[in-house]
């Protein structure tokens, strides 16, 4: 697939002679798709759509709610060292990492009071994970304003270098997301509001 950055460079030259904006379709890695590829969804997968505009084009990006992938060895190690430095908690290479990620303020984040039922579910979730061997779990946040009340309930860490955001949550997914990273770099991510109680089952 042609990468969108090359395409935009060519498009910027053409825009000198045209006032019409080109509509570009892309996946979350910014690889260009045809309109048919963009609209095609035979398995009826849930997804988010984002639109970015510049002087010459409108970029429409489709992002699936769930994603399986693999990070390379260097990135895997970098993330583990990063989390270890944030938390001052040792993480060896045999552990599976679970990150519950909270973005900046949105319809869920930053409210004056968090739903008590959700807090209870989080407490239960942490206790269940503690019973599973070789798991390291982290609450990671982008913006303190989004967790000004919830953040006092648990140990949590700000994504200071945006390393987690850049690798797994490039767009703003509403409410919260999570990613499970296996020791070999394989990962599963669910973006957008989810049931936190379901995560322990996915780790078995």
Residue of 159, 203, 161, 158 lying closest to 183 (CA atoms):
203
Residue of 52, 49, 39, 45 lying closest to 4 (CA atoms):
52
CA distance 191 to 157: 19
User: What pLDDT shows up at residue 30?
Assistant: 83
Which regions of the chain carry the CATH code 3.40.30.10? 67-202
User: What pLDDT shows up at residue 17?
Assistant: 43
User: What pLDDT shows up at residue 137?
Assistant: 95
Q: How confident is the chain (204 residues) per 10-residue block, as mean pLDDT?
A: 49 48 87 90 82 83 92 97 93 93 75 69 90 92 73 80 94 91 97 91 86
Query: Sign of torsion, CA 158 171 68 200?
Result: positive
CATH class of 67-202: alpha beta
User: What pLDDT shows up at residue 177?
Assistant: 94
Q: How many CA atoms lie within 13 A of 128 on its CB side?
A: 16
CA distance 175 to 162: 18
Residue of 51, 169, 202 lying closest to 102 (CA atoms):
169
User: What pLDDT shows up at residue 9?
Assistant: 45
User: What pLDDT shows up at residue 148?
Assistant: 66
Contact between 63 and 41 (Cβ < 8 Å): no
């Amino acid at each position: 697939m042609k990468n969108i950055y090359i395409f935009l460079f060519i498009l910027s030259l053409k825009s000198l002679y045209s006032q019409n904006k080109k509509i570009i379709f892309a996946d979350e890695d910014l690889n260009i798709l045809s309109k048919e590829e963009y609209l095609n969804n035979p398995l009826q997968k849930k997804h988010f759509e984002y639109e970015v505009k510049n002087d010459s084009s409108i970029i429409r990006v489709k992002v699936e709610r769930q994603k399986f992938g693999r990070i390379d060895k260097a990135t895997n190690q970098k993330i583990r060292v990063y989390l270890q430095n944030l938390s001052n908690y040792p993480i060896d290479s045999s552990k599976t990492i679970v990150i519950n990620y909270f973005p900046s303020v949105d319809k869920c984040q930053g409210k004056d009071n968090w739903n008590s039922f959700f807090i209870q579910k989080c407490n239960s979730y942490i206790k269940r994970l503690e019973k599973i061997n070789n798991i390291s779990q982290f609450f990671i946040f982008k913006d303190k304003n989004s967790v000004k009340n919830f953040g006092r309930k648990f140990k949590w860490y700000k994504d200071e270098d945006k390393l987690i955001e850049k690798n797994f949550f490039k767009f703003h997914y509403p409410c919260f997301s999570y990613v499970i990273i296996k020791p070999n770099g394989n990962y599963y991510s669910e973006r957008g509001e989810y049931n936190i109680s379901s995560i322990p089952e996915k780790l078995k």
